[in-house]
Amino acid sequence: MKVRPEQSETIYDRKRFGGPRAVGSDPGADAALFGFTFDGDAPPDPPHYLIKNLLPAEGVAMLGGQSGAGKTFTVVNLAVSLGTGDAFFGRRVVERVGTLIFAAEGAGTLAARVEAARAVLPNGDRLPIAWMGAVPNLADVEEVKALQPKIRAIDARMREQFGVRLGLIAIDTMAAAFAMKDENDAAEAQQVLRHMRMLGEPIGALVLPIHHYGKTEDTGLRGSSAYRGGADAVLSILADRNQVTGEVTTRSLNLAKSRWAEEGPIAAFALRFVQLGTDEDGDAYGACVVEPKLDEPPPSTRKVPQKDPLPIVALKGAFDEVLLTHGREVQVRGAGETVRAITVSEIRDEFRRRYATGEDEQEDDGAKVQTRVRQALKRALDACPKHGFRTAAWNGEEWLWRA
């Protein structure tokens, strides 16, 4: 290739370039390529899990959900499954490990919750679960460093007493444990993630912070998108909560993000109260335990009945009303099957009465109302086949009947 006159000589001039050279021919090339991997040099390893196809063996996974959905109860249930080796929501526990919970909020309830979860086990033996109530500010790197030898001591204690390593460090909740200035700040979120990895990496444990969702479940984890982006997995606890009464129904566990496994709903679950004793007034006290409903489809996979649009609602109501007074047996197109039908002209007035809103009735321009109602009736008639109705015209009339 010749170099154009206006160009200076470049590497693409064949006389100078002469084709590619072997990497080894350039001194220092090996050092320059340190840290890079070429296809074929490193065969892929299978992912390492604590819970098969759900939670990785190490890193950071997040558990999020609305207030009152059952997040802490689920973490206690997870700790019990990891300590016993029993399946967690039907997923296999790959390795029995111990759990440490940094209870920055609700520490006073943990003893009862763990006791209730252990009470429903066949043997009720003590479990490799520990917790800490007076949690320092984990946003302070020095506080995180000060916790590292304590975490190693917990690990050593669990190996000695239970024969398992410390494999899960839960934080309840992330907002309470980290004194963040702005949850929406991406740089601060990245720092929070780094500090969490500092807690787990020295002993190869998974760190699982509990975090609240935004105002609705559709918004996902509250704050910066960096929390979800930096996590290796995200579990979500979904539920229907009445904000006025506090009633919570249709709880479910879902895998909202995973770097390795298929994401989606896991199972529905309920909370069942377990009595641990009675107080000085003779009233029962105890705590709830998680009961997965593996034989039921998760609420998030159940088909929600679609609401009919207003024109169809008005059409159905008007049809039933008019059919009582004007319905008659007719043959479709004069020679087909016999159906009980009415004419479209007979339904118009009743359709208008049901479709027109208060705003329409107060509108001065009656022509606009009539036009709006006429268009709505046309849309309803066009959609009839999707809603169990049929229409046809014969003998100068348009007829309407149920299929």
In order, the DSSP letters of 105-138 are: S-HHHHHHHHHHHHHTSSS----SEEEESS---T
CB-count burial class (<10 Å; 0-12, 13-18, 19+) for 338:
exposed
Question: Which of 272, 301, 330 is where one domain is finished?
Answer: 301
- DSSP per-residue codes, 305-371: PPPPPHHHHHHHHHHHHHHHHH-EEEEGGGTS-EEEEEEHHHHHHHHHHHH--HHHHH-S-HHHHHH
Number of domains composing the chain: 2
Answer yes or no: is 359 within a domain. Answer: yes
Distance CA(282)–CA(279), nearest Å, equals: 5
Q: Are 317 and 376 found together in one domain?
A: yes
Q: What is the CATH number of the domain that holds 240?
A: 3.40.50.300
Q: How far apart are CA 292 and CA 261, in angstroms?
A: 20
**Cβ atoms of residues 322 and 316 within 8 Å:** no
345 lies in the same domain as 245: no
Q: Which residues of the chain have pLDDT under 70?
A: 1-28, 215-219, 244, 300-306, 357-366
178 with 217, same domain? yes
Q: How many C-beta atoms surround the C-beta of residue 146 within 10 A? A: 11
Predicted local confidence at residue 245, as pLDDT? 77
The dihedral sign for the CA sequence 331, 333, 339, 342: negative
pLDDT attached to residue 240 = 84
Q: Is residue 21 part of a domain?
A: no
Flag whether 17 is in a domain: no
Among residues 301, 322, 337, the one where a domain terminates is 301
Query: Is there a single domain that holds both residue 291 and residue 318?
Result: no
**What residues have CB less than 8 Å from 246, skipping those under 6 apart?**
68
User: Cα dist. 148→154, 195, 295, 328 in Å?
Assistant: 10, 11, 42, 84
CA distance 168 to 154: 11
291 plus 319 within the same structural domain: no
Spell out the residues 6+ positions from residue 2 whose beta carbon is closer than 8 angstroms to its own: 13
- Inside any domain, residue 37: no
**Omega before 357 within 30 of 0, i.e. cis:** no
Extract the tokens encoding 109: 């309830």
Shared-domain flag, residues 328 and 228? no
Q: From residue 159, how far is each of 60, 78, 114, 156, 163 by CA, in Å?
A: 22, 19, 20, 5, 4
Question: Mapping DSSP to helix (H, G, I), strand (E, B) and coil, where does residue 67 land?
Answer: coil
- Structural domain includes residue 231: yes
Q: Are residues 77 and 162 in the same domain?
A: yes
If asked whether residues 203 and 347 sit together in one domain, one would say no
> Which structural domain range is residue 92 located in?
49-301
- 182 and 321 housed in the same domain: no
Provide the pLDDT for residue 129.
97
Residues 165 and 98 in one domain: yes
State whether the Cα torsion 363-366-371-376 is positive or negative: positive
**How far apart are alpha carbons 172 and 209 in whole angstroms?**
6
Please report which helix (H) or strand (E) contains residue 249, including its range.
strand 248-258
Question: How many residues can be counted in the chain?
Answer: 403
Cβ atoms of 234 and 221 within 8 Å: the answer is yes
Residue 8 lies in a domain: no
Shared domain for 297 and 314, answered yes or no, is: no
Q: Does residue 384 lie in a domain region? A: yes
Q: Determine, yes or no, domain membership for 24.
A: no
Contact 266, 54 (CB under 8 A): yes
Distance from C-alpha of 392 to C-alpha of 331, rounded to nearest angstrom? 11
DSSP label at residue 201: G
Q: Which two tokens stand for residue 315?
A: 């059409």
Sign of CA dihedral 361, 366, 372, 376: positive
Is the pTM value of this prediction over 0.75? no
The region that residue 27 occupies, defined by phi over 0 for left and psi between -120 and 50 for alpha, beta otherwise, is beta
Q: Are residues 315 and 342 in the same domain?
A: yes
Q: Are 129 and 98 in contact (CB under 8 A)?
A: yes
Q: What is the DSSP letter of 4?
A: P
Choosing from 273, 301, 329, the residue where a domain stops is 301
